Amino acid sequence: MARIATYDVTTATKEIKEVFAEIEGAFGKVPNLFLTYANHLPLLKANWNKVKAVMGEGTLSQKTKQAIAVLVSRDNAAPTVSRLTRERCGQLECLRKR
């Protein structure tokens, strides 16, 4: 049972819908973590901007960053994050088939 309710997307403001559209474009869906952040718009924006900065800037390739995200989420036993990052990583073909 969740301790903090996820945001009701049917009541989303224009600003929240815009952020959700960006997130969905990046992940294919809005992860529950961001649905929870949406209860407080500044928190949603800050965390989404952080993800964009970490994953979008710098010298490492997207493939490398996604591969790191998959391994870290697996090691942290975060199945939802791991599934989402594996799916995104698969789209980028960043993990070699063994």
User: Each residue of 42-55: pLDDT tens digit?
Assistant: 999 999 999 999 88
Q: Which pLDDT does position 21 carry in this prediction?
A: 96
Structure tokens at 30: 């809005």
Q: Which pLDDT does position 92 carry in this prediction?
A: 54
Q: Which pLDDT does position 15 carry in this prediction?
A: 96
pLDDT at 90 over 70: no
Residue 37 and residue 44: Cα distance in Å, rounded?
5
**What is the mean pLDDT of the segment spanning 9-37?**
91
What is the separation of C-alpha 73 from the centre of its chain, rounded to a whole number of angstroms?
Answer: 12
pLDDT at 1 over 80: no
Q: Which pLDDT does position 19 carry in this prediction?
A: 97
Task: Break the chain into its structural domains and give their ranges.
Answer: 1-57, 59-98
